[in-house]
Amino acid sequence: MAYHSALCDILVDEAQLEQFALVAKDSAFRHGLLMRTKEDPNSPEVLSYAPFTLFPSPIPKSIYEQAKLLQRDFNLLVEKITQDSKFLEQALASIIKVDHFIARLFEIYRKTLQKGISSPITIGLIRSDYMFLCGEEGVTSLKQIEFNTISVGGGGLASQVPAVHRSIIMFLVEDIQMNIYDQRLIENELWSRNIPVIRRRFEDISKRGHLDEEKRLFIDGQEVGLVYYRYGYLPQQYIEKDWEALLMMEQSRAVKCPNIGAHLAGIKKVQQELARPGVLEHFFPGDPEAVSRIRSVFAGLYSLDLGNEGDQALDMAFADPDQFVLKPQREGGGNNIYGDDICHVLSKVEQSLERTAFILMEKIRPQPVRNCILRRGTLLKIQPCINELGMFGVYVRHGTEMTLNEFAGHLLRTKNSEHNDGGLMAGVAALDSPYLV
């Protein structure tokens, strides 16, 4: 195997692993590596451990550094997209016809532009996710899975994983309420810097929120300076009134993280459009290095729009579905389609506009690494695992000036190599931390 050996192989004794798991659980508890349960997502009395790996996973240092360097490019790219209404309109034109949810988001974007954007400041918190391929002679290459622009999670909990790994081994490393501890860690950090945080739902905003004549946003008598969306990225998270609340927040002077343009920039259809020849050049005129840095991590991405190009992609998928992932325009894991199901789904929508609601992506097949996963505190046996490295990026634009554009840490998620899909919240992936090799 042209890959670095896994730590769990150093400790083959099962009794020893159980011992380590006990210590790791105590440490996970102390460090707040927790989640509420699916059964009682709103109860602070019923808690369990967030899924995490017993050992950190080996990640090639060169790959990590490349992904880190790229983050500023991706921050800039997302920010440029948010300001390019012509591009967004064109990129999303086909999706809007078939996807009611995205059409409504786009309508909010359009209305916000029409009225003139009220806040000169915009904040982006994005996460770009990668897997890595091991080629001939152990050369690894980084491939992007997707980038996320709204409700980017995991950063809170991920910050605690190294502490748990360190105390294991000396020499090394809604319902949204279920993931509340990820958010609480961020809230605590803000409070510790004397920044007051309030938590509100769409319903609270539509019932009790309003804008004053200067478009300042108020709720329960308090002015809101910044709206941080940890919700609202799926159609089932909206009832009719919530769309009015969203429009009100977007049209307010409050800074949005993300603003509606950045939310739209994170849609998978946009990722596919960016892979077309000439599109990155449009966003980075005069910076061919940035273009090639970004393009080097793109896997094959294909449009299924009606027409020749889409027909060709369709033929490729039917001919060898195992080489591809079929992706709808949804977030949160567990929505993608694999293998023979790709043929089933595509044969149903082949002749209609419906097929444009998907994109087709080359399937990335990373080299598995062995690790142990603890799920709800129960130690599972050593298994072949696949890593997905998420890189956080943060930017602030004030007027036309990018006043901040930084790499902001990582999230390493690890899952059994047999699982095709699924994130932390979908109960498949576990939190992990990298040890750079």
Is 332 annotated to bind a ligand? Reply is yes
d(CA 393, CA 333): 20
Instruction: Name the residue nearer to ligand ADP (CB basis): 119 or 336.
Output: 336
Is 391 annotated to bind a ligand? Reply is no
String marking each residue 193-232 x if it binds ligand ADP according to CB under 6 A: ----------------------------------------
- Binding residue (CB under 5 A) for Mg ion from 73, 305, 331, 432: 331
Instruction: Name the residue nearer to ligand ADP (CB basis): 305 or 388.
Output: 388
d(CA 91, CA 267): 10
Among positions 104-143, residues that touch ligand ADP (CB under 6 A) are: 129
Give the dihedral sign, CA 332/82/230/203: negative
Q: How many contiguous H segments (helices) and E segments (strands) does the chain have?
A: 15, 22
- Binding residue (CB under 6 A) for ligand ADP from 41, 225, 235, 332: 332
Site for ligand ADP contains 423 (CB under 6 A) = yes
Q: How far apart are CB 297 and ligand ADP at their closest, in Å? A: 12
Query: Which residue's CB atom is positioned nearest to Mg ion?
Result: 148
The total of other beta-carbon atoms located within 10 Å of residue 245's CB is 21
DSSP letters, 130-195, are EEEEE-GGG-EEEEEEEEE-SS--SHHHHTTHHHHHHTTSTT----GGGGHHHHHHHHHHHHHTT-
Q: Which two tokens stand for residue 306?
A: 């009606």
Is 14 annotated to bind a ligand? Reply is no
Among positions 107-166, residues that touch Mg ion (CB under 5 A) are: 148
Give the residue from 413, 365, 385, 410 showing the smallest Cα distance to 140.
Answer: 365
Count of residues near ligand ADP by CB under 6 A: 18
d(CA 102, CA 107): 9
> Residue 412 binds which one of Mg ion, ligand ADP, none, with CB within 5 to 8 A depending on kind?
none
Site for ligand ADP contains 331 (CB under 6 A) = yes
- Binding residue (CB under 6 A) for ligand ADP from 32, 333, 339, 409: 333
Residues 6+ apart with CB under 8 A from 53: 371, 372, 373, 374, 385, 414, 430, 431, 432
d(CA 428, CA 190): 30
Q: How far apart are CB 99 and Mg ion at their closest, in Å? A: 15
Instruction: Name the residue nearer to ligand ADP (CB basis): 336 or 405.
Output: 336
User: By CB under 6 A, which span of 1-9, 183-191, 285-293, 328-336 interacts with ligand ADP?
Assistant: 328-336
Q: How far apart are CB 148 and ligand ADP at their closest, in Å? A: 6
Could you tell me if 274 and 77 are in contact, meaning their C-beta atoms sit under 8 angstroms apart? yes
d(CA 333, CA 38): 16
The total of other beta-carbon atoms located within 10 Å of residue 139's CB is 11
Among positions 334-393, residues that touch ligand ADP (CB under 6 A) are: 335-336, 361-364, 388
Q: Note the residues at the interface with Mg ion (CB under 5 A).
A: 148, 331
